[in-house]
Structure 1
Amino acid sequence: MKLKAKIFLLALVPFLAAIAGIALGVRHQATALAIAQHDTTQSAYMASKEIELRHYVDLATSAIKPLYDEAGVNARDDAILRNRALAMLEKMDFGQDGYFFVYDMHGRSLMHPREPDLVGRDLWTLRDPAGSLTIQQLIAAAAEGGGYVRYVWHRPSTGKLAPKLGYVVPLPRWGWMLGTGIYLDDVDTTLARIDQRASSDIEHTMLWIGAIALAGLCVIAVCALVLNVSEYRSADAKLKRLAQQVVESQENERARLSRELHDGISQMLVSVKLLLESALARFELSEPRVQPAEAALSTGIGRLGDALREVRRISHALRPSMLDDLGLAAALEQLTRELSTQSHLSIGFTQIVHDHAAQLPDTVKTALFRIAQEALTNIFRHAQATQAAVSLEVSARRVTLSISDDGRGFDVERVQADPSAGVGLRNMRERLEALNGELQFVSRPGHTLVTATAPLFAQEALHIEMQADPS
């Protein structure tokens, strides 16, 4: 084989391997992000639908409450009061396909405004096309104090079977099950549209990678035609630099993705899981509809919304809005307050602002907030501490963030040396290194201190340099 052919292959094979690796990595990551976006969007939609259904049923029960309460006092007119309640519920609706239905606890239909032919019929053994006992599932949920059921029912506006989410509550004094539902066609359509758009974006990205690969191949082919012996060494050096740049870019991208996913989504999902577990424990120890448990579940739903916004932030590389709206000190105070209410930790926050203190750049605020979030999460998950403290000190030339706790401590050298155990600490250190800052750890049983320091004058010099040289 001629020397030119060997050099051509030497350039071609690594290039194709790198492009193939990049293409596979990009496709895998984009697919994973699309799946995560689908799941979080679906969870958010279903959570909003459940809240909406509960609101509708609360309105209906409030509307008939005077009749229901009067029936308990005046049993002689109970039948008249029931009929008035059914008539009132029959007139209530929320759109063409939004209505209320009433069954007794034995499966007999008492009121159905969209399908009046069902009234009076025993539907206890009614099955959907999949064989599920629809009415029995609804009654079982009502018998447990109320709940949500997914089933299939005819949509009045189309006359076709459609998936539906129902919410039912019992009326024990009358032996009724009152409920309503929302058809989920629009949710499925929206999710399908999101999936289609994500698939289209992935295909466009792959086409761009293919075009870049083709352009690269053309460049290599043209260069191979004009190479001579004196250019071979230069080409070899360029290939080595190109390979190094590809490796560095891959490592930087992996580090960025790992840092953002670990510091953001992972911590929020852990918080949500703990909240839901707390709510479940409260429900198990309390009667139904206990307000503290409901408040905990409501907070968990809010956390899920935060997780969705965090995924979008990672996708679009946006800054945390809380820092832009409230500033670092207010954001840290809110973070410590939220974690204190969610756990047994007592977390204090102090701020020290010296005379002529400098304004914190956005990059510094973001880095310090993420460091505090990571450190507090580690305390919550691993330290077994009862008290923690966060301190922010701002002067004219530097800003210092300190996080301490009274937990069991850890072996700093061992954790930093272990690649699988020190991801969070490594992410914190990388954030500060980008700002010319310094991160210090002091840990022993009963006391752990994390100190993050960032120079402010260096950030101003960097900002001026970037304005003077935009390239």
Structure 2
Amino acid sequence: MQLKSKIAALSILPLLFAVAVVCMLVIFQNQRLGEQQARLIESSILASKRAELKNYVGMALSLVTPLYDNGRDDAETKRRVLAILARINFGADGYFFVYDRQGRNMMHPRQGELVGKDLWDMTDPRGLPVIQALLASAQTGSGFQHYAWQKPSTGEVTDKLAYVVMLERWGWMLGTGIYLEDVDQAIAQVRDEVAGGIYATMLAIASVALVAVLLVFAGGLALNVSEHRLADRKLQLLTQRIVSLQEEERSRVSRELHDGISQLLVSIKFQFELSGLELSAGNSQALETLHKGTERLAGAIGEVRRISHDLHPSLLDTLGLPAAVGQLVAEFEQRSGLRIEYQNELGDTPLSDGMAVALFRILQEALTNIERHAQASSVAISLDGRAQQVRLRVRDDGIGFSPRQLDTVNGGIGLRNIRERVEHFGGRFALTSQPGRTELMVTLPAPAATLG
């Protein structure tokens, strides 16, 4: 994937995800608030209708109470009560009804065909036994019942809220009801308004998101150009640095060859020439001069081995990292005079060739920094391996330094090279320093963990 596509994916996709989450939250919150508002409106309307029904029933009772309380239970008195109730109307579909305890209809001014019929087992479309439920509400004292009934003005079955009371002496149930179409209409209107609000909100969010995406896209293009320029500059600096490192390494090897091997060889040559002249002259010192030349030749061979070991330790290829580290530690202790404590717990942890070389070079660089800058008296080195990782820890008791100088220590190479080697293998690099204690810890993933 090109850098341009990566920038677009990393900038626009999270933005779109955030917008989608915001939209879902807005929809959820609006729907929840809409339902709460609908329930609140429904509760308020039903409360007002309950109060209205109680008033209607109270008014009807006030009209029939004089006849009911006179103590006469004859048929004529009951007929007069039913006639009074039949004449009471309110609104287009407001009327009173009367049933006895057995569910027989005593009076129904809008549906005369029901008068005298036993409606005990009649149910509404939801399966509710209407008359039984009304009688139960009247007898328990709650009085209110919600059911479905045919509306006289339209002939359609719709929801109805009724309030009933018992005329106990006669065994009658008196009640009236109000149809709830206006409640359904009010709730539907609220839900429509909520849906319209959600649509308007989504449209506004989509507009803002579109503008944001365009701005991010434009910023991404500008950043893409800037990153290309920066990458070109970094590539040039990296190339220059590689060339500089090569020249520094060549200069170091050249100095060691010139100052070490070359001078030793010249000295050996003089010793051999001198021994040859002494042999020609029969001088008894010729053999001793030859021995001195031979000793210097052994020193030259050792110097060649040292330079070769610095370039690439042969023990890494033959005996592995622990042996190479042991030799490096022994040589460093002998050369620097510092007290070294080395613990090897690597065990059978597998290491790739590149990782072994990297760990060896990291330790070599760390010891070089300690020798040049730390002013330490002792160094502790531990190398341990586990199934998932290999860890190298180097600790000294020197003067310490500020970790912010990481990029400037050792002329810009030193610890920065260590960090780059660690990052190459996907490992972790930690450096802490204070007077009396500086610790470097490198953790690299084992090859088995990498493959897993």
TM range (shorter): 0.3 to 0.5
TM-score (norm 1): 0.46
Q: Larger Cα Rg: Structure 1 or Structure 2?
A: 2
TM-score if structure 2 supplies the norm length?
A: 0.48
